[in-house]
Every structure is written in C-alpha cells, then in structure tokens.
Structure 1
Amino acid sequence: MSETRLDVDPLGSSNRSIHFESSEHMVKALGAQDEVLRLIESEFSDVNLHVRGNELSISGPPAAVDRTERLLEEIRTLAANDTRVSPEVVAQLLRMLSEQSVARPAEVLTLNILSSRGRTIRPKTLNQKNYVDAIDNNTVVFGIGPAGTGKTYLAMAKAVQALQHKEVNRIILTRPAVEAGERLGFLPGTLSDKIDPYLRPLYDALHDMMDPDSIPRLMAAGTIEVAPLAYMRGRTLNDAFIILDEAQNTTPEQMKMFLTRLGFGSKMVVTGDVTQIDLPGGTSSGLKIVSEILQGVDDVNFSMLEASDVVRHRLVSDIVTAYGRWDDERRKPSTARRRRTEQES
C-alpha cells in the first residue's frame, strides 16, 4: 500500500515522504529514466525531490510541497490503474489542478470507455468526461467544439461500446457531403467512390476501435451503416446509435430532418464545430440555430468543448485559440458599424 508521511521542521519547511508499493509502481509513476520526475522538478523549482528505494521525499515551502504532493497523488493513482503517465498527461493534470476544475483529475483520466487492439479509449479532460456522461444520460446529445477535442472519436467509442453491450442493434454514421452540395452525380466513379472521401474520417475511427476484418462483414449485414446525410430522409431509425458528424454543414432543414429520424430505443449524437462552416454564403448552419430551438427540451443535452480540450498535438490548441482571437477582432469593427447604423436610423 502506498503511504505518505508528513513532517514540519521548526523553520517552516515541510518534509513529506511518499512510499510506493513496489519499484514497478514507482517506475510507472515517475517515468522511464525519471522523465516525469524531472518534469515535476522543473515545474516546482522551489521543492526538493529525492528518491531512495521505493520512497520519494519532498521538501520545501509548505504551499509548494502541498501542490507537489497533490500532483504526485494523482500520478500515483494513474500508475496504479495502468495508465501511462506521459509528459502530456502530467501537463493535463497540472492544468486541471491549477483550474480546480475537478477534485480528483485521475478519476477523469481513468474512465475507460473502450479497450481495443491493445489500447484504451478514455476522456482526457473534464469537459470530455462531462460529454461522455451526457451521452450516457441523454437520448440526444450535441457535442460542439473545435477540431481535435474528441467530439466524434468519443461518440464513436460510445457507439461501439453500446453495440458490444447489446444496448443497440446497429450503428449509423452520417455526414453531410457539403462540398458536393449533396449532389454527387457529377463526380467520377461509382456511388461508393463518390461518397467515400466524405465518410473516410468515420471509417478511420471505426478501424481504430474494431477488428478491421469484422467491419466489412458488419457493414454487409447492416449492423454498421456509413452514409451521407441525404440518405437519412424518410427513414425511422430504431434500436440504433446514430452519429451525425460535421453538423455545422447542415442547413436548418437538414438538421430538422435528421433529428426527426429518431426511433424507439435509439440514441443520437450530433457533433460539429461552428467556426468551420463550409456552407455557401448566406446559408444558415443548422447546428448554430438548433441550440436556440431545443434549449430546455428534456433529454437533449448540449456539451461544449473548448480549445483547452484539444488532445492532438499541443500546437493545435494554440492554433484554435489564435484563430478565435482573430475572429473576435474581425467581429468588433462590424459590430461597431452595425451599432452606428442603428443609432443613425
């Protein structure tokens, strides 16, 4: 059993010792060649860390020692749950602890959704966990946020989990083929050739989560269906987990059409990024206005993800934030012009 020992010397410096239950547990927590330990030392430069056997001692100013100990407790919990403690995970823990967004960050990062092909899919931020919980607790969920926040990937993982647990009989994945205006006839090749480029991201996610050899068989049997949004019209989808991806590229009419396909025993997840709308100029996005229409409707949830939830390369979060600032600056002059016009009239 891991233990923590606390001592306070007369000069006001705290000294604490954390005992790990085994050397293997300690290596998992502190990283190969102590990479995690070195990262903690660089983050808390006023704290001294010393390793002896299976014991890690912490000394320094009480407040800094408290923060270091709390971080190490979360790291120790992750290691005990066989979660790889990488520098990226430590950075995420530090952010969650500094924001005080959740009492125990390790509980967020050890929530397993799906294990497949030697890897486990989990939420990596508090907002992602809230999104996953919303999918569990609601029939219709909207996951709205920038690229790389796991909107579609986590929804796909929940769909595969629901299928494996026999909560649904099939998975239906759909996207609007907006670049071709849902009119695919002028593109070369067969129908499959024409729509595959738009649906490829959904296929890629499926291959991450399931045995690739089983996917053609499941698709042939209708257990998994991947189709453009136009193919949903006129259908009632019962006992299915239905995901609409890239929903910012739906018109209000298409969004209404899709939502009204919901049948008994089904669950819907709608994902999109309202900052990446590819619709022709002047066309309203169905995803932008649906929150106004359905706000307050029981069993419908809107989960908002942010740049801080991006789980791709760290630069992606910085890029999303930079574009957000740029968009805000562009809006300011147009808002000012509109106000002047309203005042003059």
Structure 2
Amino acid sequence: MIPYGRQDISQEDIDAVIGVLQSDFLTQGPMVPRFEAAVAAHVGAAHGVAVNSATSALHIACLALDLGPGDRLWTTPITFVASANCGLYCGAEVDFVDIDPRTWNMCPRALERKLVAAETQGRLPKVVVPVHLAGQPCDMAAIHALGQRFGFRIIEDASHAIGGRYRGEFIGNGRYSDITVFSFHPVKIVTTAEGGMALTNDAVLASRMELLRSHGVTRDPDQMTHTPDGPWYYQQVALGFNYRMTELQAALGISQMKRLEAFVARRHELARRYDKLLAGLPITLPWQHPDSYSGLHLYVIRVPVARRRSVFEAMRAAGIGVNLHYIPIHTQPYYQAMGFRPGDFPEAERYYAEAISLPMYHVMTDAQQDRVVATLMMALEQ
C-alpha cells in the first residue's frame, strides 16, 4: 500500500528521543521551550506555545481571545472538524463561510457578504478561523482587512502549512492574525508523533495560553493573588487543561525542524511531477495562488462527480491509499442537529463531491508516484 501520507523518522530523530529517555526530564523539562523557540524563530513569531495536539492549540487560542457563550466563531466547511469544534468547546455559536472555487480556501468575497449581512443583524463573529487547506495559505491580507473593518479576531489554522509562505513571508509570523496554529501529527510536514503549537506576537495571549495548557496553575508571583507562602507555592488562577507536550515529542520536533525546508522542497518537486504527469486527464488539478508558496501537505484533485467513487475504490483496491479531505462539517450529523442543511454552502459541497487526495509525502519516490499516476489513469478509463 502506498499511503496518502507518512512520517520520515531519521536516526538523528531517534537519537534525540533516546537522549531524552536517558535524561532527568520526560516532561516539563528544557526541550519544550527549545522546540517553541525553534519554531517561533523559523517563522518569525515572538512566542510559541507547544501543546499535545493542534486541536488543543485551537481550543486555548479561542479561550485566550475570550471566546465564550454568546459569541460566534466562523470557519470554512472544508476542514477537519476541530476547526469548528474549538468554538463549541468555548460555548460559542459556530457558522461557516463558503470556499473559493479555485483555491478551495475560505472565500474573502463570501466572507465580506456574510459579514455585511451579520452586521445588520447584530450577529458579527468574534473570531474567524481561516484554514490553509493542503498547505496553501488563504488570502490573509483580505481577511485581515475585513477583521479591521468588522472587529473580529483571527486564528490561522495552519495545521497543513508549516514551512509555507504567504507574500514571501513564512506562515505563522502573525502579520495578518492574532494566533497561528500548527499541527505535528505523523502525516503532517514535520511530526512530534502527536502535538501542536500556537504562535503569536502578543505576550499577553502567549501567557494566557501557557496558563491554560497546564491546568490554569502558575508559580509566577506576578500572576498570583497574594505573595507566595513559600518556594513550594502555586496557585490555580484559571480553569485550564492538561494539554502539555512531552519532552520526547519536543525533542523529535526539534530534530525534524532541521529538515523542514528540505521536506517542503521535495513536496514541491512531487507536485510539479504530478502537474506534468496528470496534465490532459479529465480531472481538475490544484491551483496555486501566485502570492503563496504552499506547504503542500496534500495534493488534491477533483474528479467528475459520476466517476469519483469508482476511481477512489479502484485506486484503494490497487493498493493506492487515496483519501478524502474533507467532508463538509455542516453535513455532519452533529452539526445537522444544530440546523445546518445540505445546500447551505454549495461550493464546499461541489468540492466534496469531486475531491480525492493523492499520496503526497517527502519520502515518496518517483517510482511510487509513477505507480499512483498509472493507477489513476487506468481507473479513469474503466
């Protein structure tokens, strides 16, 4: 089976983890701060807050921005459910903005139309979560300008996008958002096995997220209600969670970050080969906006609706691990129970009816890619 994605673990990675296993700290030691500093320095952000998953990072990002009951969070329907669920975790109302038919990301024009209507109804969002699908950044300048105009905060869900760039600058530098979230799941561009990180340039937001990831407990006298009773003293000053990243994960992440640019460069080589090898087939290839340099977590094609299922099943039967990213969130039963219905976001639904994610990972060989392409050609001819 050729999977749709997989990690690349080197001997250096293994040695880094073994080094931690032989150290004094398996958790809450020096590696997590080093990993945070490495990622923040690479993307040009002031602060990084490492956690046990990107879902946790989204949750504490929302809480740090004071999202709560009576507030609204908007995101795209074409993303993993965590991009929306983070709003529900905070007691907020969740809604969606349809996608751009070319980039498949949140459409700024659809967002503006929805914001204008919401303003007249007194129902503007407090937080908007653009998602960089497949690693291609959203039109963040346009979304940021709308944020300034309508007063919402922005969390970039860049779970697919570490190592990518927007307008020549690394995604995660915070120029167009309050907080950016990365994922380090094994199929992502770099991995910590499981893990995530929130990046921000705001020291207050960083401090809030650090507190929330560890039970809301602090040993910092400046955050306490009175002078510490002694050197043993701590206080719980907020209702937080056990979202900490381990030292083992951080050590793996530090090692993986050394190869980030090489990982992304290889993905671009593979994407160019796909573009060339698939040209002329009756499918739609992914389009890259000239303002972007995608992280290329995924390579998504669109197949005519009548053929999508047969092509998908034929490729799986041939040992090609194609996948689907994503089923529109508003069509999920949990969200249907809130009142969402098929037809609410037609461009997202058209995308879903046609999308297939082809295998894409940096240790993929040209021979494996050739097999994927040959199998796809045969499946389209059946």
Q: TM-score, normalized by length of structure 2?
A: 0.27
TM-score of the two chains, using structure 1 as the length reference: 0.29
CA radius of gyration, larger in: 1
Q: Whose helix fraction is larger, Structure 1's or Structure 2's? A: 1
Relative CO higher for 1 or 2, CA cutoff 8 Å, sep ≥ 6? 2
Q: Determine which structure has the larger strand proportion and give its number.
A: 1
